[in-house]
Structure 1
Amino acid sequence: MVQKPKTPVPTSADVARLAGVSRATVSYVLNNTRAVRISEPTRLRVREAAEQLGYVPHAAARSLRAGHSRTVVMPAPAFPAGPLYTRFLGELQSALGRLDYTVVQYGGAAPYGDDAARAWAELRPIAVLVPGPGLGPGGVEVLKRSGARAVVTLGPEPVEGAHALVLDQTAVGHAAARHLYERGRRRVGVVLPEEPGLRIFSSPRLRGARSALRGTGATLTELPLACAEDAAARLAARWDALALDAVFAYDDAYAMLLSRALQDHGVTLPGRTAVIGADDLMLGPLLRPRLSTVRLELPAGQDLAALVDRAVRDPGAAPERHTVRGVTVVHRESS
């Protein structure tokens, strides 16, 4: 069998010859360098030559020359990400792409730490966007020493040395419990997921619910629950003994799970027990009764992308801290 000769890999010099420009001009155009003025016809000619030859810039070589890449590393969340959070991250990735960054999602869900930061640093990213807690000041320093111009965290607490979008989960619990109290409910249960990865969100939501009911005479009962039908059925079987007239489920998924189990057990909603969830999942209005919820007003993905871009352009600037406290109670039939 005769092997076909290998086609030479096109180089930037080939593109330059075909376009009738210098290799430097090819680099400026294909790397979207705006510091050098190049006419639009020349830019078009270079891009057409690169497309005709099938030339793609060598990202690793470009990173070596610059000391960094245009890569933003986004580690997989160290917690089960719900639809609301996933949609927000999708919008963020799109917004970063429009700013000429390449987003690389790193690995599976795992605890963060200095070792994880070293692994991310091996990619020589220009920025790292860390969802959730677990990265400490030491990890931030590792990333900065490797050349990362920006480290941004999204979680319940800021991290020293990093820019931060702080998601105030206590406001979610406070709003849910306050809503139930204002609807005349006085014996409130709070569903707490047994999955340890969700504790970073469920604990502050519980604190918020406690603060809303403090001094009102209403009672609060913690209700640990695994995300499984049989676990919800066991909890529903105890409902007569618990004598609760309202429940704030950790989020809409847990609210749906428990609502079905309670109805199967003969508990009327909202007559005997009012139910409210959180995160405003799109299935909520399709339930019967329609599910009340608390919506955390996340910022637009483009706003966080703009923060990353500012940090990259000015790596010496003091870390920005933005706290998201805005919540909206969406009152439907279940409460």
Structure 2
Amino acid sequence: MTDPAGPRATPTPPTSAAVARRAGVSRATVSYVLNGQAAGRVGEHAQARVRAAAEELGYVPHAAARSLRAGRGSIVLLAAHADTVPVFGPLFTRFLAGFQTALHGLGYTVVLHGAPAASPVAAARAWAELRPAAVLTLHGPPLDAAAVELLHRSGTAAVLTHGPSAPPGAHTLLLDQREAGLRAGEHLLAGGRRRIGVVRPAEPGLAAFAEPRLAGVRAAAAAHPGVRVRPLDLALTEESAARLAADWPRWDLDAVFAYNDEYAMLLMRALQDAGRTIGAGSPDHIAVVGADDLLLARLLRPRLTSVRAEITAPDRIAELVDTLIRAPGTAPATHRLGTFHVQARDSG
């Protein structure tokens, strides 16, 4: 509906000069107070007046201008490609929340940014427009050397990409998904299982996690002659799980490692509905192992065995990013985000 008064002008944001006038102080005093540099320079009463004036006027400091004054950027960009659908488990979601909080405490603004993934350079060019101090790619296609160089030339001090390897000039953040599969495979083999299915999600955007987990199970099986490992594609729907359970006699599998606990619980219920028995107690039972160690999985009967990630405390990773921003010449290295172990329960 058209506004009868006509188009409205975009309001002019309040300035630090307006805050200074309202508080009866200098602009330098406003800058000290609102940028956390008032200690030893501005009295408590004046600080209170500045904060009250800023709140009354709705003044918010300009991040780009603050970065110019500080001589370095204040944006840490978490990159997610627009054509992928990242699905993180609750454990990793909690890590991201803690990571962002820790970075904010260090004075950074965290931006989650999607960009066209036509090429790594195209994505890097879109990110560079924000002049971030650091770029972290935690999901999606990896960057290449040209993209990393473009980011560095645009002023990005630190580029960190997900493992297992990184292009020249970038640091690696590694949560080795192959290790998750390796631990699951070793656990099932130690329990006498020799015909192992590995669930791969049919949903797009998860192959970067699922394929290394499959490779890990295969690596564990390589040390045991005669062991079979079969990939199983499963969509996160009851219909897909029912079809997989109906085909089970054709594959003659005695164990399954599912991509995560959600896929494991879905398949476990479908197998039980098809008359199969789940558990580690007998060779005639199907052993089921999930990943992420969700609370709900522990409430099932039988309780679900799961591969759990022990992730590095998010404040330590935030401190690492801060260190790399302050020392941009630091030689690229691999930084582990955590390790995996199996939480054994009744299902496998």
Q: TM-score, normalised by structure 1?
A: 0.89
Q: Report the equivalent of 2:336.
A: 323
Query: What is the SS of the residue equivalent to 1:277?
Result: strand
Q: Report the equivalent of 2:21.
A: 17
Residues 221, 229 of structure 2: 8 Å contact kept: no
Give CA deviations for 1:104-141 in whole Å, capped at 9, x if unaligned: 11137957611011111111222212113421121111
Q: Report the equivalent of 2:345.
A: 332
Residues 194, 224 of structure 1: 8 Å contact kept: no
For structure 2, list consecutive stretches of 5 or more residues without a partner in the other structure: none
Residues 73, 129 of structure 1: 8 Å contact kept: yes
The equivalences for 1:1-335 within 5 A come to 9-33=13-37, 37-39=40-42, 41=44, 42-63=46-67, 69-76=73-80, 78-83=84-89, 84-107=91-114, 113-132=120-139, 133-227=141-235, 228-270=237-279, 271=282, 272-324=285-337, 326-335=339-348
Letter in 2 for 1:99: L
> How far apart, in 2, do the equivalents of 1:116 and 1:8 lie?
32
Aligned length: 334
Letter in 1 for 2:87: A
> How far apart, in 1, do the equivalents of 2:72 and 2:340 lie?
38
Name the % identity: 52
Structure 1 position 193, deviation (Å): 2.5
Q: Against the structure 1 CA distance between its residues 49 and 243, is the aligned structure 2 distance closer, same or farther, given a 3 Å change threshold?
A: same
> How far apart, in 2, do the equivalents of 1:5 and 1:120 lie?
30
Structure 1 position 75, deviation (Å): 2.0
Segment drifting more, 222-231 vs 38-47: 38-47
Q: Against the structure 1 CA distance between its residues 294 and 32, is the aligned structure 2 distance closer, same or farther, given a 3 Å change threshold?
A: same
Structure 1 position 192, deviation (Å): 2.2
Segment drifting more, 292-301 vs 325-334: 325-334
> How far apart, in 1, do the equivalents of 2:303 and 2:116 lie?
33
Q: Against the structure 1 CA distance between its residues 180 and 142, is the aligned structure 2 distance closer, same or farther, given a 3 Å change threshold?
A: same
Letter in 2 for 1:50: A
Letter in 2 for 1:264: D
Structure 1 position 196, deviation (Å): 4.9
> How far apart, in 1, do the equivalents of 2:207 and 2:65 lie?
42
Q: TM-score, normalised by structure 2?
A: 0.86
Letter in 2 for 1:56: V
Residues 137, 160 of structure 1: 8 Å contact kept: yes
Structure 1 position 39, deviation (Å): 3.8
Structure 1 position 45, deviation (Å): 3.6
Q: Against the structure 1 CA distance between its residues 331 and 8, is the aligned structure 2 distance closer, same or farther, given a 3 Å change threshold?
A: closer
Q: Which runs of 4 or more aligned residues in structure 1 lie more than 4 Å from their structure 2 counterparts after TM superposition? A: 1-9, 63-68, 108-112
Query: What is the SS of the residue equivalent to 1:197?
Result: coil
CA RMSD of aligned residues (A): 2.8
Query: What is the SS of the residue equivalent to 1:326?
Result: strand
> How far apart, in 1, do the equivalents of 2:183 and 2:116 lie?
30
Residues 73, 127 of structure 1: 8 Å contact kept: yes
Query: What is the SS of the residue equivalent to 1:322?
Result: strand
Residues 137, 161 of structure 1: 8 Å contact kept: yes
Q: Against the structure 1 CA distance between its residues 37 and 46, is the aligned structure 2 distance closer, same or farther, given a 3 Å change threshold?
A: same
Q: Against the structure 1 CA distance between its residues 111 and 219, is the aligned structure 2 distance closer, same or farther, given a 3 Å change threshold?
A: farther
For structure 1, list consecutive stretches of 5 or more residues without a partner in the other structure: none
Letter in 2 for 1:176: A
> How far apart, in 1, do the equivalents of 2:16 and 2:47 lie?
14
Structure 1 position 37, deviation (Å): 4.8
